Structure 1
Amino acid sequence: MQTEIEIKFFVSQDIQCPLSKLLNSLEIISSSQVDLGNVYFDTPTLDLRRLEMGLRIRRSDDFAEQTIKCRGQVVGGLHARPEYNAPVQGDVPLFAAFPAELWPSLVVRDEIQTRLVAQFRTDFLRRYWLIAFEGAEIELAWDQGEIVGSLGKTCIDELELELKSGDARALFGLAEQLAGLGGVRLGAQSKAQRGYRLAGLGKPLTLQSLPVANGSDAVMRITSGLQHWQHHEQYWLEQADPEQRQLALLAIRQGVTLIVDAAATQAPVWLAALTDLSTHLALLAQEPADTGWQAALSMLFHRVDYVRLQLAIAAWLLAVA
């Protein structure tokens, strides 16, 4: 088993030139590219999803590998989750290649094995660079391709930073430089989550109530506020209905306000910037629907200072954990 620790960005514009300039300024250990085809499996009744597992076979010209990813944590774009990998020969994963303790029982494991079917696929070109940065080794991957399910397809254009060795703080240092490219925002949704939805098997994003967090635990409240904020940022971007967008903006403001209130006793360096953002969001919420505030908010989500603020909060949470 290994624990995958990564930061994901969704890309919304052409970043080829600024990314090349950034890479030229970094210490590149190695680089390569590969076409990857990935098929994700589950039972018709989604037994693996209920166990909070993701299962895929990944193929390229020279290898085939099966992977199980277990439940992890996503905070501020930082993904941390256990994963298990094993070679595979056929077209269907074989659970016997994975540790038995992953399963509630071997009976459950074997029953799921007999009912596995392909649910959706992702196909993309991965360009990747192994980078030496602040004493750590970090893999930067740029994935471009598509997710294909029974309900249609959607594009993949993502940057992922994965910590290979060293301190996770270096991951945030490099992520801050990537945020400086512009046209990127932190992503909390995995390719598998998006694929399940395209296969008609995942729950659509919905408005959520502000989570109840322990009033005396500032770290828990800040974590909850950041997750609430980022969930509704994604919800806002996927909505076309102005009323739903207004409700999503309200939820974003609730998440930001929760963080501001919880951080008051901690006085982190990012608090002033977050307070300014809270004021800005309140002003946008007062704008009439026909004044272009929606375009302004969409631009805000991709602004360098906005993305760096989310990164700073997530890095602070990692430091105090």
Structure 2
Amino acid sequence: MIRSYTSALALLAASATPGFAETALGDNFTIDGYAEIGVVKYSGSDSEEFYRGDMDLRYAKDGSVLGFSLGIDGYGVASQNMLVLYPAVEFNTTYGAFALGAPRTATDSLLSDAPMSYSTAGAFELGIAGISVAKTAALGLELDHYGAAWRGDFGATSVAVSAHEFSDFIGDAKIFTAAVTHERETGGMLGTLTFEAGVEYAEEGSNSGTAFRLGAEAVNGRTTVGVLYADLSADAGFPYFPVAETNAAMIYGGYDITNRLTVKATLGSVDIGGGSDAFYVIGAEYGFGESGYVNASYADNQDAASQSLFEVSAGWRF
């Protein structure tokens, strides 16, 4: 895994983690997300510890339109620590859910993480997992932000849109995002099919950029397979896009050996600024208790001069 990929672009890896079932805390509070600590070992280098957390705390009385949420997203290693908060007031109406303040963007809240087969550090190294311009600005560049978001669920289809403004050393940047997911029961070997798509548009002064991603996943019993493609393009020098042209493509699969033991693998290619590089990740996870887990993964790529990485982590999903 090429360590030179570690840059502001790597912050794109920090996408939200939708899909977890909310855990009731009592007194109308719920939480969903995860938190973990781990150790990563690069070939030819010393090991280093890291932490990763991404969760949402919500408060809403039963039957009430008004609610409150606080998103917390962080990643840290010995050389760098990053943390961003997403406080928002929520309104749950018959026309969908609205959020005001500093909510997560549509793409960060609705779309899934990139399938890096339990390799947290590998995702940050390659900078491909989230493909989130807004997350780069909020988490990586530590910029003040505010905005509004909306989500509507229509049977098997969910749609979300958002608009945010970020203040930085140049001025105020605007980021608009939209995302959609659709689930379909095939009744055949593909089982449950889920399609997702998302787009972000950012502008600041004369600079602008666009990011989009497309994905499909099939889950049938113990087996999961999927594909993901993402692309970013922007004017040269736009700070929210550290490299003007980036794209990534991945295929992945997973198998639940038991109810607690799962193995996964990812094969992909990432092109950053004209330099294409294929990579692979293999990993396994064992769950314990109600929501605890430990996992291990190994990641490498085609560049003989690069450093492979091995990591082990333990955490808790809410």
The TM-score, its normalising length taken from structure 1, stands at 0.26
- Between Structure 1 and Structure 2, the one with more strand by share is 2
- Between Structure 1 and Structure 2, the one with more helix by share is 1
